[in-house]
Amino acid sequence: MTDRRYRPGPLVWIAVLMATCLLLVLFQKVLWLVIPFLFALIAYYLVLPLKQRMVLAGISHDTAAISVSLGILSVLGVVMLFSMPWLTAHASALQTGGGRYFEGGMLFLSETLAGIESNFSFAARARLAEETMAHVNDFNDHFASRYVASAAVMAALWFPSLLLIPFLAFFMLRDGWRFKRFISRSVPNAFFERTLFLLDQLDQTARGYFQGLIKLTVLDALCLAAGLSFIGVSSPLLLGLLTAILAWIPYVGSIGGCLLVVLVAATDYPGNPSVAYAAIGLFIAVRMLDDFVFMPMTIGKSLKMHPLLTVLMIFAGGAVAGVAGLVLVLPLLGIVMVVGETLGAVLSDPRLRARHRFAKALLQAKVTEDLRTGAGV
């Protein structure tokens, strides 16, 4: 059911944007619950089609949810069973490879700074290469003492929260339809149709966002992998996938992805910085496509947002709630938009208000009649 006559006005849009920013501030205080819930939603919408097919085949909701969950856990268990021996056997090689990539990155940085000093006299006078390399070496020397311990503490604090992900996803899968039925039965009859419409739109909005996120990840990974393969960088598919997942954090994740690509390219071609420069140019081109074309056309289209609004709200989310705001702003904005537009339609629909007044009058008349009957007895 859609209301073709209603179009949200400026007051509704202002309320939606203000509510989104307020919720971002509140969610920042309970990230330990919001982040697991977000990943649980991703898992839920990934496996929901499997459950729906089983239900259509005549299997009960509970049995389908349990079967799908056990199947996914079995697949993950088999993957871990076969991957752990390989990781254990290659642990030293992986550690050595990490050091090799760092050395390749340092060589590339040194050559780049030397080239800048040779072309710009002010950089040479400022001893840009010497000062920058001194800061980088200091960071490397004190990295373990400054960051490893705090990272271990953060991991220990977040581990219990991350354990919530499979449990939340399972209960969403098993009881999501029960929750919708409970909500629809809890509203007055006059608003029953609109409530069903609202629940359906919320589900479609969340599903559209997470499906758009998966499409965006695939597009990013394939585009970057194709470009890296063309210029000869090793492991293009793995690099493409890792950088695409990092891009789930808009703009901030792009910095980490770019550093990763540069380190691999510089290590593959030591003494030839042109390949690393080409990798940087390729990465920037893919990121621009992602931020200004792919994201508005996938996630923005799924959420029925204008591309300009999508980009502006990403910046606003980062300004209001930092990194968490960058991740949460788009799905939250989409949900608040649906709620705001539906409430606006309800409040501006005279037919629905008349039905509500009529239902309320009938209820009051029934209560009055019951009281009179009770008094007469």
Angle between helix axes 31-56 and 10-29 (nearest 10 degrees) is 110
Give the pLDDT confidence score for residue 6 in this predicted structure: 52
Task: Provide CB contacts within 8 A for 177, sequence distance 6+.
Answer: 61
Distance CA(83)–CA(78), nearest Å, equals 8
- Cα dist from 294 to 46, 220, 335, 340, whole Å: 20, 8, 21, 26
Give the pLDDT confidence score for residue 222 in this predicted structure: 92
DSSP code per residue over 126-154: TTHHHHHHHHHHHHHHTHIIIIIHHHHHH
Domain spans of the chain, in order of start: 10-369
Give the pLDDT confidence score for residue 147 in this predicted structure: 67
Q: Which helix H or strand E contains 218, and what residues bound it? A: helix 192-231
Q: What is the tens place of the pLDDT at every residue in 211-248?
A: 778 888 888 899 999 999 999 998 899 899 989 888 88
Distance CA(308)–CA(292), nearest Å, equals 9
Give the pLDDT confidence score for residue 299 in this predicted structure: 67
Give the pLDDT confidence score for residue 226 in this predicted structure: 93
Buried b (16+ CB within 10 A) or exposed e, 171-208: ebbbebeeebeeeeeeeeebbeebbebbbebbeebbbb
Closest of 172, 192, 209 to residue 300, by C-alpha: 209
Q: Pick out the chain residues at pLDDT < 50.
A: 1-3, 377
The model's pTM is 0.70
Distance CA(71)–CA(3), nearest Å, equals 41
- Cα dist from 350 to 182, 289, 338, 356, whole Å: 26, 45, 20, 10
Look up residue 150 and give its two tokens: 């705090």
Look up residue 124 and give its two tokens: 């040479």
